[in-house]
A and B are shown apart, each in its own frame.
Chain A
Amino acid sequence: MQLLRSVLIRLGTTAITLIGVAVIVFFVIRVVPGNPIAMMLPPGATEADVARLTALYGLDKSIPQQFLIWVSGVLQGDFGTSITTKQPVLALILSRLPATLELSIMALVIAVVIGGGMALTGTRLRGTKTEAVIDVSNGMALSVPDFLWGLFLILIFGVLVPVFHISGRVTPSLQLPFSTNFYLFESVFRLRFDLWLDIVSHMFMPALALAIPLAAIIGQLLKQSLKETMHLDYVTLARTKGYSENHVILREALPNAILPTLTLVGVQFTFLIGGTVIIERLFSYEGLGNMAIDAVINRDLPLIQGIVILFAVIFTAVNLVVDLCYAALNPRLRHA
């Protein structure tokens, strides 16, 4: 009952947050200088043309009126029509969303593998030079944001040792048999490992750039809580039972040390998703973030609105999922 109540409260605040985001974006965008309608028309268009198009996009109404029309549309799944491409915003977003989701998930997996590996290695080899090296590299990785790591990766693996692709999502000349835009997953599903390799080779660099700061955070925090846990009595007791150090770390310490890390990873994962905007731009990766920047540059108001709202939905959803995971993993909360 307690759990249900807190879930309901969380859903309520989430709704308020999303409404707040919608209001702010809508009104911020409406003060954009530069008339998007004028940009759409060829030179020599008449006043009447402008008026007709303005009415078509509902831009002749007052801002609160526009907001109501937009909200009622959104509630019916209609996010409006993109001004530059003339396509429905929702369809555009959905066509790009898989690319960004795949990129974010791959980055998360990389971050967990690297960060978790560093934390476990550092704990196993505590007090040695290896641990000191891990600490220093974590500190460095944390100090510098994904944007700069992306540039370094481009230099190193794109120019110096060109082993990965640094531009795009897939080699343009390839024939893609896919029916969804989840290229990475579908290539596995269709057993097309040649395509899968090409896609991973495009995705790995931007994903790694996004993953480095998060990996450092996971490495640092998890190692710290592992080391604290290793001093606890139940770990000592497990040692006297005859278990090896590796076993003690993995089975006794890790499950208890992982909870504080998990909460933080949730928050940090939203930062990572936010980082896809610039990283996609940097690697010319055809995802949502890249489309968002184009939309801003082209003053495509309905599209910007839709993308920002979608990001907000993803952020709040991730936080919600993390809270639920936390409750599910913590036996104290589960049975309380």
Chain B
Amino acid sequence: MSDQTSQSAPKSMFARAWDSDFAYNFRRTPVAVGSAFVVALLVLSAIFAPLIAPHNPFDPASLDLMNGFTAPMAANEFTGDVFWLGTDDQGRDVFSTILYGMRISLFVGFSAVLFAMVLGITLGLIAGYVGGWIETIIMRAADVQLTFPAILVAMLIFGVAKGITPIEHQDKMAIWVLILAIGLSDWVQFARVVRGATLVEKDKEYVQAARMIGRGKGIIMLRHILPNVLSPVLVIATISLALAIIAEATLSFLGVGAPPTQPSLGTLIRIGQGFLFSGEWWIILFPSVTLLSLALSVNLLGDWLRDALNPRLQ
């Protein structure tokens, strides 16, 4: 009896996913596996930074200035402490600071993309499905924004937001302002793709059928069209994530992003840049390598995703 039950039972979700074409394709692409591994490693170590990091670089009371400028794996001449990847000018352990800095970079990156995605999908769906003057307004606004480089738009938004927040709250708000700025500079890609896909979908039979039985516009957009336009969005979102992480690093590098007491990867690179000439290479090298591997592997993953989801390439 029991044998029969187990034979006829449906396969578990995991097993089904493992057998799918998608997963098969993934397993057969070494670049995808490699970059997914790097991304997972970095994301996990960022999430569990408080458990992994030997120091908490955000707690000023734990820093000892005499540890400043210790080279990697070398003992400090005053305190005798040893740090894997050395310390920066404030005596902060570079390894711990990278882990904590990556949390900010990833958090800002994910949140900004999520924000851009929600905004872009909403506007794209409305523009594509409703059409008319609403479409004209949304899409022309998108076109205008596209003519400016995204980083410039982000800086503009960041500057305006910083101008209207009172100075005493600026440090606390900096992260949210960054998310807002990067998100607002990035929604256009999503809106354009979703609008295009919606224009294709909206005259298909299933949508006509839904309209015929009297479903509302909102329901049709959300329940019928949206699921069918999501796969290109997923690809853009992945590539946008890499871009958002780089945008955050760029803004912080320029000194307008994360505050120096709570450094993100970009802030760390900015700090390290001041010591390039004087020979303290480790302060800039390790955060840069981390940023590079993070952005590169997310990008490679996005590339693979685009190919895998493109039916014409299969």
- Chain A complexes with chain B: no
B residues near A, CB below 8 A? none
A residues near B, CB below 8 A? none
